[in-house]
A = this chain, B = another copy of it.
Amino acid sequence: MSAIRLLVLGAVRQHGRAHGYQVRNDLEFWGAHEWSNAKPGSIYHALKQMAKQELLVAHEIAPSTVGGPPRTEYEITEKGTEEFFALLRESLTAYDQKPDVLSAALGFLVDLERSEAVRLLEERVRVIEQWRTAVTESYTPEEGPGQLGHIGEIMNFWVTSADTGARWTRGLIERIRGGAYTFAGEGEPFVGVLAEGAENPYATQERHPGDAR
């Protein structure tokens, strides 16, 4: 599964109603074009595709208010909302080692309730650990180690990445447990989209436990 559907569904959902260019801008604001396949063609394709599948409805109106050609607006349906949460939950727990999927899911983490977020992330840690066990067991000994030569470095690399992923996830769980961020049903949600016509003032640093209440 690629990250694009989750990203697009989530972006439309946050706006309530959005046209392609708006979605495109949100995703750029999140830096998504850097770590996922959120490029114009993919975004517009996903919108059309999901409209055909009735996850979105297309309103062929809106003759543009700020110049440029007319635009199509999309609205998320009930079915789309279900799909959104299904994708979100799956992306958080699956360890398919495609980091863009996890990144996309992190962007929508706070759309869940705090307790569920924690539960899913704990499940994620479990899945990673299982994967690690399976891999190191099935790809081991028999004829003794060293049989693989430099090929073993590939597995070593993946295992190292998995361990980092697990450790990082545990850190995130702690931050959430410690009260960081505002989750669903906790009032004033954090708005991660650009207002119509706003500038793009991105900002971040190594963030840790106590901030962003």
Interface of A toward B, CB cutoff 8 Å: 30-31, 35, 97, 99, 102-103, 106-107, 109-110, 136, 138-161, 164-165, 168, 172, 180-182, 190, 192, 201-207, 211-212
CB distance from A181 to the nearest CB of B (A): 4
- Count of this chain's copies in the oligomeric assembly: 2
* A202-B159 contact in complex given A139-B31, A154-B31, C-beta closer than 8 Å: no
CB distance from A95 to the nearest CB of B (A): 11
CB distance from A208 to the nearest CB of B (A): 9
CB distance from A120 to the nearest CB of B (A): 14
The closest CB in chain B to the CB of A109 belongs to B150
In angstroms, Cα B144 to Cα A103, docked, is 23
In angstroms, Cα B109 to Cα A153, docked, is 10
Measured between beta carbons, the chain B residues less than 8 angstroms from A146 are: 207, 211-212
